[in-house]
Amino acid sequence: MEFFSHQTNYPFMATRKVWYTLSAVLVIASIVSFFTRGLNLGIDFTGGISAQATFTRAVSVDEVRAKLAASGFHDPQVQNFGSSRDLVIRMPPEPSETAASIRAKLEPAVHSVDPGAQVRQLDLVGPQVGNELKTSAIWALSFTLLLIFMYIAFRFHTWRLSLGAILAVLHDPILVIGIFSVSQTEFDLPVVAAILAVIGYSLNDTVVVFDRIRERFESNRRLPPPTVLDQSINQTLSRTIMTKVVTSIVVVALLFLGGPVLKGFSEALMIGIIAGTYSSIYISSAIALDCGLNAEHLFPSANKAAVDELP
Partner 1 sequence: MLEYARWKYILVAGVLVLGLLFASPNFFGEDPALQIARKDHAAITPFETKDVETFLKDKKVHFDRSYVDKGRLMVRFSSVPDQLAARDAVNENTRYKDGYITALSFAPRTPEFLRALGLRPMPLGLDLRGGLFLLYQVDVNGAVGQALEGYAQDARRALSSANIPFKDVTTVAAGGGGQPNAVRIILPPEADAGAARSALNQAFQGLSVSTESLPSGSAIQAAMTPAQIKERQDYAIQQNITTLRNRVNELGVSEPIVQRQGIDRINVQLPGVQNSAEIKNLLGRVATLEFRLEDTQDNAVEAAQRGRAPLGAKLYTHTRIGRPILLKREIIATGDQLTNASVVQTPEGVGVGVRLDARAGENMLKTTKANLNKPMAVVLIEKRRETTEVNGKQVSRDVTDETVINDATIRGVFSTNFQITGLTAGEARDLALLLRSGSLATAIYVVEERAVGPSVGSENIEKGVNALIIGMVGVFAFMAIYYKIFGLVADLVLLANVVLLTALLSMMGASLSLPGIAGIILTVGMAVDANVLIYERIREEIRKGVSPQAAIRAGFEKAFSAIADSNITTLIAGVVLWVFGAGPIRGFAVVLTLGIATSMFTSLMGSRALITLMYGGRRKLARLPI
Window 137-166: residues binding partner 1 (CB under 8 A): 137, 139-140, 143-144, 147-148, 151-152, 155
Question: Nearer to partner 1 by C-beta: 96 or 301?
Answer: 96
Of 59, 89, 207, 286, the residue at the interface with partner 1 (CB under 8 A) is 207
Site for partner 1 in 254-273 (CB under 8 A): 254, 256-259, 261-262, 265-266, 269
**Residue 46 sits in the site that holds partner 1 (CB under 8 A):** no
**Residue 19 sits in the site that holds partner 1 (CB under 8 A):** no
**Residue 197 sits in the site that holds partner 1 (CB under 8 A):** yes
Question: Nearer to partner 1 by C-beta: 167 or 207?
Answer: 207
Question: Nearer to partner 1 by C-beta: 29 or 88?
Answer: 88
**Residue 80 sits in the site that holds partner 1 (CB under 8 A):** no
Of 63, 75, 215, 218, the residue at the interface with partner 1 (CB under 8 A) is 215
Nearest approach in angstroms of CB 93 to partner 1 is 8
Do 277 and 205 touch, CB atoms closer than 8 A? yes
**Residue 233 sits in the site that holds partner 1 (CB under 8 A):** no
Which range of residues in 9-17, 176-184, 221-229, 234-242 is near partner 1 by CB under 8 A? 234-242
Question: Nearer to partner 1 by C-beta: 21 or 218?
Answer: 218
Nearest approach in angstroms of CB 31 to partner 1 is 22
**Residue 108 sits in the site that holds partner 1 (CB under 8 A):** no
Nearest approach in angstroms of CB 29 to partner 1 is 26
Q: Please state whether beta strands 77-81 and 40-41 pair in parallel, antiparallel, or not at all (unpaired).
A: unpaired
Residue type, 297: H
